[in-house]
Copies of this chain bind each other. A is one copy, B any other.
Amino acid sequence: MTVHDPKLAASSDDTSSGDKIRISEIFGPTVQGEGALIGVPTVFVRTGGCDFRCSWCDTLYAVDPAFRADWKPMSTADVLAAVKKLSGNAPILITLSGGNPAIQPLGKLIELGKKDGFRFAIETQGSIAKDWFADLDFLTISPKPPSSSTDFNPDDLAACINAAQPDGVLSGPEITLKFPVRDEADLMFADHVRKLHPGIPVCLQPVNTTPAEPHPDGMDGVDLDGLTRRYRWLVDEVTKRKWFDVRVLPQWHVHVWGNLRGV
Contacts and interface: CB of A to CB of B under 8 A. Distances in A.
A87 B41 contact: no
Nearest to A91: B244
Interface residues of A, number: 34
A132 to B, nearest CB: 23
Interface string A225-263: 000100110010011001111111110100111000000
Taking chain A's interface residues, is the majority helix, strand, or loop, or is none over half, making it mixed?
mixed
Contact of A31 (B41, B242, B248, B256): B248
A196 interface: no
Give the 10 A-B CB pairs with smallest separation, nearest first.
Answer: A39-B249, A29-B239, A39-B247, A92-B244, A41-B244, A90-B242, A39-B248, A31-B248, A31-B235, A40-B247
Contacts of A28: 239
A87 B30 contact: no
Contacts of A161: none
A115 B231 CA distance: 32
Interface string A50-82: 000000000000000000000000000000000
Contact of A244 (B29, B232, B243): B29
Contacts of A40: 247
A31 B41 CA distance: 23
Given A38-B249, A88-B242, A91-B244, 4 more contacts: A29-B242, A39-B248, A41-B239, A90-B244
Interface of A: 28-31, 38-41, 87-88, 90-93, 203, 228, 231-232, 235, 238-239, 242-250, 252, 255-257
A39 B231 CA distance: 10
Nearest to A246: B41
A258 to B, nearest CB: 11
Contacts of A93: 244
Contacts of A29: 239, 242, 244
A98 to B, nearest CB: 23
A238 B38 contact: no
